[in-house]
Amino acid sequence: MNPNHRIIDTLTHIADSYRSQGVPYKYKAYRTAIDAIRSLGTQITDVSQISSLPGIGKAMVDKVREILATGALQQEKDVMSDPITQAIQTFTSIHGIGPVLAKKLVHENALRTIDDLEASSHLLPPQARLGLKYAKDTALRVPYDEIEDHLTYLKKVVAKLVDPMLQICVCGSHRRGGATSGDIDVLITHPSSSSDSGSEYVFLHVIVGVLRDVGYIIDVLAEGTSKFMGYSRLNPSLPVRRLDMRWMPYDVFFPALLYFTGSDMFNITMRVEALRRGYSLNEYGLYEIPGYEHLHHAPAKGAEGPPAGAAKGKRVFVDSEKAIFDLVGMTYVQPPQRSK
């Protein structure tokens, strides 16, 4: 357990309330601060330990000071005790219900609970009705070992019924070693695939079809050529789980694997280091930025590299995550250490 779990949990409750109310800039500010505090690794006993961390301003320092002094945060108490706020958070946790619809359901239709929603499901659009159908299951966190069982099953079925050369990884907090995850995020590629050709995108459609035929995928939220969103279950004794599968051609697979593994704070650090060396890094690749020297050593002190919005040039092929670390001048960090 993180030594600062009380602070992290408290700030997470506030962040979630802003997300459910449709205030993304405040949600993002809290998430940035939470990631910075989580990365410390040592117990915070005085706010001087966090005042210089990136993403933590005076207002956030004051909140942490209150938690340290009183063991709680009045803002969290207000959020957790307000039935309107709690109802909006409950509704926005259901796939297909955003802040605008959640507020309408609460304020105009006087709904407060999942049972209320089920009795008034005619008020919901199709995707939200599907989200509501599995809401009680998907509210449960997915244990690490269960996700490993999903991964083993997916690899076995896909290798047998589609193509044994397909590569499948689970990303997100699971790959970082998290004890539980909110859903199952899968990344798929094939060594012979390339982003220069669209023919490989047929793989995802075939994979989804096979997984539906064997009863693993039980409902579909959305399906395209490169992304699937839906619901899966290993067996009837287990809860239904949210499943996202994304197809990435092999020449962009490792930047995607890096990006979708996270954490958000770690990805920001990687992008900043890439820019300092004349590269642009995102989930679709590592790109040379025209007009800037591409350094394979530490840049001069004070050098910032091109601006974040600089035009991208040629994509650099990488055949591993470590190759990306090498190019941006960073020591390779194992996934479980990327949350720290």
- Name the residue among 137, 152, 39, 34 with its Cα closest to residue 93: 137
| Residue 249 CB-density burial (10 A; 0-12 exposed, 13-18 middle, 19+ buried) | buried
Give the active site residue among 63, 301, 314, 322.
63
Catalytic annotation on 136? no
Task: Please give the Cα distance from 271 to 327 (Å, whole number).
Answer: 12
Task: Please give the Cα distance from 204 to 188 (Å, whole number).
Answer: 8
- Identify the helix (H) or strand (E) that includes residue 266: helix 264-276
Contact 211, 232 (CB under 8 A): yes
Encoded tokens for 171: 């990303």
Residue-wise DSSP of 120-185 = TGGGS-HHHHHHHHTHHHHTSPEEHHHHHHHHHHHHHHHHHHT-TT-EEEE-HHHHTT-SEESSEE
List, in order, residues 6 or more apart from 119 with CB less than 8 Å away: none
Task: Please give the Cα distance from 140 to 240 (Å, whole number).
Answer: 9
Cite the active site residues: 63
